[in-house]
Amino acid sequence: MNLANLGIFGELEELVQDEELRQLVRRCTTASQRAGQKMRDGFESSDDAKYAVSEAALNGILHRGDDISDIRTNTNISNCLVFHTKNLQGTVIDQEVVDLRNEIDEIVKERAKELFDVPLDAIGVSGHFWYPPGGYMGWHTNLRKPGWRLYINVAEEKDRSFFRYRDPMTGEILTCDDELWNCRVFQIRQDLPFWHCVYSETNRHSFGYRIDKPLES
């Protein structure tokens, strides 16, 4: 499969249906919730969460010309729990979670290598997040690191969370409701910022990856 054929955004069933991967992800989400429970106890849903992921909020960002790449550069855009992210205050570090995530990463990298015909060293690890009910990640672009992003998302309840994005070609706002399992791929280009955000009313976990090297169409 050529990633360029997906266009800007696509859904992948191949990884979602991988039972070995699913079992590891289940174990890791359980361990993540156990490790993050102390911070979860202090979690506060935001009254502004739904507005932060609204079209009106994005229009304001675009009007002001705000540069919002990601949670590293703009730590106030989200209230979700973040795991093993160096130099980020509040990140959850737990050895069991790290070990399980490493096992997941090995499988995902090998599958992505085969699926997209890219070398292993082109595939890097990105975010690892837990969105409790009321969790969100506001509009951002990831422009700090262009390339492709792949996210495996697991939701406790169907249709209680979503991924929303602005089509950089048309400006249309599109909302993708989460199934229990989703795998999404999207392209980050400097010339076509891919504005996107996440909102959840259930426990939602996401495991992110970057494909950094340019791919020929």
* pLDDT tens-digit readout, 10-32: 999 889 999 999 999 999 999 99
Other beta carbons within 10 Å of 22: 15
DSSP one-letter string for 104-167: HHHHHHHHHHHHHT--GGGEEEEEEEEE-TT-EEEEE--TTS-EEEEEEEEESSTTSEEEEEE-
* Backbone φ and ψ of 163, nearest 5°: -110, 130
pLDDT given for residue 213 in this prediction? 57
Q: How many CA atoms lie within 13 A of 77 on its CB side?
A: 22
Look at residue 81 and tell me whether its pLDDT is greater than 50: yes
Per-domain boundaries in the chain: 3-39+56-211
Contact present, 142 and 70 (Cβ < 8 Å): yes
Hunting for tokens 């191949």 — which residue is that? 14
- 161's tokens: 């969370």
- Cα separation, 128 vs 56, in Å, equals 27
Per the prediction, the chain carries an average pLDDT of 92
CATH number of 3-39+56-211: 2.60.120.330
Looking at per-residue pLDDT, the higher value among 213 and 4 belongs to 4
- Which of 23-37, 86-100, 125-139, 199-213 has the weakest average pLDDT? 86-100
CA-CA distance, 118 to 149, in Å (whole number)? 14
Q: Give mean pLDDT, residues 56-69.
A: 97
Residue 3 has pLDDT above 80, yes or no: no
**Would you state the structure tokens that stand for residue 114, as one six-digit string?**
């085969």
What mean pLDDT do residues 88-112 have?
93
**pLDDT tens track for 138-194:** 999 999 999 999 999 999 999 999 999 999 999 999 999 999 999 999 999 999 999
Q: What pTM was estimated for this model as a whole?
A: 0.93
pLDDT digits (tens, 9 = 90+) for 44-57: 777 889 999 999 99
Those residues with Cβ within 8 angstroms of residue 75's Cβ, 6 or more apart along the chain or in another chain: 88, 89
> Which DSSP category does 5 fall into?
G
pLDDT tens for each residue of 195-215: 999 999 999 999 999 998 554
Please give the Cα distance from 200 to 137 (Å, whole number): 9
